[in-house]
Amino acid sequence: MQHICSVLLLSAIGACAATLETDLQQAIDRANLLTGGTAFSLGVSLEGRTISLSSGKRQMGIAERAKVMPTDAFAMGSTRKMYTAASILRLVDQGKFGLDDKALPLLDTLWTKLNGTSIVSTLGPKIKDVTVRHLLQMHSGIPDFDNMASRGYQFDHPTEDLGPIKELSFLHAGQGFDCDPGTCGEYSSSNYELLGLILAQQAGAQSWDQYQQSEGLPKDVLSAMPSTSFAVHGPCSKYTDVHAYSKERTPPVDVYSVSCTNGWTCGNLISNAADAAVFVRALLGKGERVLKASSQQEMMSFKPLTQGWSTGLEYGLGLMDMSKFVGGTQKGEFMGHGGETYGFSASTAYSKTHDFGASIVANAENTFAVNRIMSLVYKTVVSHLSSNATVMV
């Protein structure tokens, strides 16, 4: 009798899991229809199982044979910041430096090699007071290079791969710090270019593009992410079969032939949503798979951004508190990072209460749609997990 009940229980759980996959597929199919053909990649990482789905076409106006596959990678923009933060914190775990150590000595040797002079000449003396923690938490006071000038330059020079020296040159001439280090929170991708230089200098790289970015992450986690890479040189067509359409120009630009470097360590993640969901769950979930528990807690120490883009957003060390985007959740329940780059937008987060990772990526710059889908994904997964728990009881 006990064996029969076990079989029935497993059948019921299997049915619930299948229904979850069906419900999620319907959600992105509907989003594809409502957005006029935007392609989506959707991933959910659960205990013992990863759901990987897709909807739409790799290129607008092409026949059904060009349908996006679940394994297809997309550019994920600032989602990359979680991976960069993880690599930095792994060095902290290894005792290479501390979170409150000054950043300048950790990056200036490489910067000087690349630029000919110290970064103090570029950013001014306040850079001497910036710590690793300031960079990770967007509290350095360094302005954002990611502006209309940098974006316009990239589209005017589509085949040029922009490294950190070039990117930071887009700070306005004579522009100083927006505040003293540690006194304000301001979203600035410049911080994550500098963190990339720390990683590259620590790795002994002689140039920004020689740094092997996957080396900063554990091999067992990377092996579970087969669609993941980090773009350095070449157009997006080198890294993905998915075309994407940027609203930076009219008509929208297909970025397939544009450099996919996307800000290097602040935005060059190429991945499908399933891989991203696996990563965020490994990063923030149980078992210290990526970081020690103490560093996980440091990541989740949120402070609000106090000025500029998304003022009030709670930002940790390479993490956004995404809870407000899903509605009806407690602060700190759903954590991860959003991303938007040329032609693509993404949202990736981990549910602390329910222990799952989720990610959604689109081949259009449509953060509103991505956040709406993520809210639906969160509620759908939680509903099914609750149903499974009821069945098991």
Q: What is the pLDDT of residues 317-364, one digit of tens each?
A: 999 999 988 887 899 999 999 999 999 999 999 999 999 999 999 999
Largest CA distance in the chain: 79
Per-domain boundaries in the chain: 2-392
Single-letter residue type at 259: S
Straight-line distance from the first to the last Cα atom of the chain, in angstroms, rounded to the nearest whole number: 17
Q: What percent of the chain has pLDDT over 70?
A: 93
Q: Which helix (H) or strand (E) holds 270?
A: strand 269-271
Q: What is the pLDDT of residues 35-53, one digit of tens each?
A: 999 999 999 999 999 999 9
Question: Which of 328, 326, 320, 329 has the alpha carbon at shortest distance from 280?
Answer: 320
Q: What is the pLDDT of residues 190-215, one digit of tens each?
A: 999 999 999 999 999 999 999 999 99
How far is it, in rounded angstroms, from Cα 92 to Cα 188?
A: 22
Question: Which of 69, 65, 64 has the alpha carbon at shortest distance from 43?
Answer: 69
How far is it, in rounded angstroms, from Cα 35 to Cα 16?
A: 29
- Residue 62: per-residue pLDDT: 67
List the beta bridge partners of residue 339: 346
Residues 6 or more apart whose CB falls under 8 angstroms from that of 36 comprise: none
How far is it, in rounded angstroms, from Cα 345 to Cα 362?
A: 5
Q: Transcribe 93-104 into DSSP letters.
A: HTTS--TTSBSH
When pLDDT is cut at 50, 70 and 90, the band that residue 60 belongs to is confident
- Residue 211: per-residue pLDDT: 97
Q: What is the pLDDT of residues 81-99, one digit of tens each?
A: 999 999 999 999 999 999 9
When pLDDT is cut at 50, 70 and 90, the band that residue 176 belongs to is confident
Judge whether residue 7 has pLDDT over 90.
no
List the beta bridge partners of residue 340: 345
Judge whether residue 6 has pLDDT over 90.
no
Structural contact between residues 317 and 136, judged by C-beta atoms closer than 8 angstroms: yes
What is the CATH code of the structural domain delimited by 2-392?
3.40.710.10
Token readout for 364 is 């259009």
Vertex 329 angle, CA 328 and 335, to 5°:
140
Structural contact between residues 314 and 304, judged by C-beta atoms closer than 8 angstroms: yes
Mean pLDDT of the chain: 92
CB-based burial label for 393 (10 Å; 0-12, 13-18, 19+): exposed
CB-based burial label for 338 (10 Å; 0-12, 13-18, 19+): buried
pTM of the entire predicted model: 0.94
How far is it, in rounded angstroms, from Cα 320 to Cα 341?
A: 17
Structural contact between residues 341 and 75, judged by C-beta atoms closer than 8 angstroms: yes
Q: Let me know how long the chain is.
A: 393
